[in-house]
Structure 1
Amino acid sequence: MIIILFVLLLWYGGLFFQSFFLHRYAAHQVFTMSKTMERLTFILTWLFQGPSYLSAYGYGIMHRMHHAFTDTEEDPHSPSYDANLFAMMWKTKNIYQDINKQRVHIDARFTKNVPQWSTFDAFASSRFSRLLWGSLYILFFIVFATTWWEWLLLPITLLMAPLHGVIINWFAHIYGYVNFKVKDTSKNLFRFDFLMMGEGYHNNHHKHASRANFGYKWYEIDVTYLIIRVLNAVGLIQLKH
């Protein structure tokens, strides 16, 4: 039971910071926050994503490119141009690293106001940090795993952020339903997004990219947005709309 709770904590904790910070703040800037709050959120993102930590700079730019080039050859991740999800993940990793390490020229429209904390990212993305987190996770399993099948969950904890990404970037462009006709293959995965905390309303998001609430119909409850509303109400962030 402890292992299950640990995996759930990492799944939803890491997912929240990917959705709240990397996606809605870094890429789309649907709300603002103080520099202190931003730095704190960098650290919390690292704590919850651990060995699969993603930089706000690399993620933010790549996601803007995804919206600009959805389902074309220039899309960083698209089932329409990648043979399978593993090929897409590998290509996405390479593009992300090229952006994050500034090895390629990026149009200014994709970099404008994207948050960057270079010194922290260098540490959080380092091999040392990833190996440290991986070792701690393995140690946790050694201490608390009670059955053999719980060890099958270890790869999920080590690759949590890429798994979150592939669920949306692959499956939400193949399966699901649509509320809006758009010029791409984006779909809503679930009527109630219990798995991805609102990220699964991908068709809604592609239609209204700057909207803080990814839900549209009454039953499309965006859990991340509800938390954003609370953070806005207590003054930790400021919603733009």
Structure 2
Amino acid sequence: MLVYELEITLQERVFFASREIDKFFLTEPVIGNYALAYAFNLVTAPYRVGDVKNEEPVYKVDLTSLNRRGIYLTPATPLQKPVLVVERFNALTDSYWYQMSPNVVVGDLAYKLDKELKRRPANFPQEGYLRLLDRGNRLGMFLCSREEVDIPPYIRLGKFNSKARVKIVQQWENPPRMYREDVPIDYYLNPLDIPASSRVKLFDLLSVPPVPLIKNIVLSGEFYQLAKGKCLPAGMAFGGLEECAP
């Protein structure tokens, strides 16, 4: 088993729709491991879809293939106090008069054409505010694999495909595996991926789609001993795929 400790440095502002409050769309300071699996090109998804309204995630198919290959990634946790910025966006038509249908500008030519074809417009917000992770934020994560993995120097993240640099901090080959009780873990984990034989005693919950994440965990079970004072739960794999699939 190979274990990589990776550091991600954001080169551009990164946006995920972690939470939506009216016209305020917020990015939480964490990157889920499902998003990272696609960002590292370990699984691929089509660049475009035929019908936005009928688009459905295929996590079960994609991530089950990683389980078969013995590859697992943890969520990425900020290494320092995260820096967040707020931006306003406005996609309204640049005309004196406009009318709104369900969250769509009626005066837009594209809407008129769609209306003639009796197609319902997609429900995209026209104006509001975004909270993003600012450039320069650093996040840490682990990647486990049965075989050597080609780690790209740069990846793309978020809804805007923002650029981020990846650095291998440390690498371990076949680290010792041992059972430990009540181990404190200060980085994010996906609770669906923790082995059933492990016991979670305490945790803080962060509710984000598609799967809530946990942090500040007290965990008993088998761990990889990576370095002095540094360990990683052993046997983690993408689980609960039935629950997060639509």
Q: Which has the higher strand share?
A: 2
Give the alignment's TM-score, normalised by structure 2. Answer: 0.26
Higher RCO (C-alpha under 8 Å, 6+ residues apart) = 2
Q: Which has the higher helix share?
A: 1
Give the alignment's TM-score, normalised by structure 1. Answer: 0.27
